[in-house]
Amino acid sequence: MAIFKGAGVAMVTPMKENEDINFEKIEELVEFHINNGTDAIIVCGTTGEPSTQSVEEHMEAVGCAVAAAKKRIPIIAGCGSNNTRTAEETSTTSQKLGADGLLMVTPYYNKCTQKGLIEHYVRLAKGVDLPIILYNVPSRTGVNMLPETAVKLGKMCENIVAVKEASGNISQIAQLAALLQEDPVMDIYSGNDDQIVPIMSLGGIGVISVLSNIAPQQTHDICQAFFDGDITKSRKMQLEALDLINALFCEVNPIPVKTAMNMMGMEVGPLRSPLCSMDPKNEERLRKALTDYGIQLAK
């Protein structure tokens, strides 16, 4: 059922100074993650700024990552949209390009009902053969996918295989896990880097991570230690990363993580408007968190 187990990176989309996508840098980042423990790469998920991209360049970015990976690591294409037709187009095109799976955020702004969520996802699932990960992040979308809705979708569509849970509501996630214990139709991934261990303790199988952009091996190791039964080590690593994780979300994602990568000399370029550069005080906080965590910054 699982597309991957462990730490998948919610990869940033690198830009040139003129805000065009830097496809050569996408290829470099794919190699970076393959060489540093990442278990899957999510391309043009919400961290990858797809809402500011045309469908054509969005798909070009997915195709670039697929070609660079050469099936050495699963490439999961972010294909969520608040327009079901657009999501259908990006989903079917991603399948043709060779993606290994799809990540589909709940429709944002529309604030559809649970019935609307079901109709949206069933329609999308019927249009492709690829495995689909649902993505619940109500703080960004304005709609909360209830546990019962997620489980119903898993029962209705055999290619809906997992949910990325970023509600932050551990009680809701526990309820989802309880329902899945009775009827295990899908897997759970943490969508929050500060809840990797708590969600795995409820039966989750990993994380779709922003932290993995800058600390891929460490994020993988948090998961692997848990899987290996060394819960003490996994918990220790989770807590040691907490200050950095908080700094990575002190402004709206992906502003801090792209800033951090540039501080590290990874040269992922600017953010696309309407996202903007960090407040200097937050930037200093981020810089301190990186160095305190032991990450070397570029001079």
CB atoms < 10 A from the CB of 250, how many? 16
Whether 288 is a known active-site residue: answer no
Choose, from 108, 164, 189, 293, the residue flagged as catalytic. 164
- Closest listed residue to residue 49, CA positions, set 38, 31, 61: 61
Cis peptide before 274 (omega within 30 of 0): yes
As given in the structure block, the two tokens for residue 298 are 């570029």
CB atoms < 10 A from the CB of 39, how many? 23
As given in the structure block, the two tokens for residue 183 are 């009827």
Residue for token pair 């304005």: 142
Choose, from 135, 152, 258, 293, the residue flagged as catalytic. 135
Alpha helices in the chain (DSSP H): 23-35, 55-69, 84-97, 114-126, 138-141, 147-156, 170-182, 196-201, 216-227, 231-240, 242-248, 255-263, 280-293
Whether 121 is a known active-site residue: answer no
Q: 182 pairs with which residues across the strands? A: none
Q: So which residues are the catalytic ones?
A: 135, 164
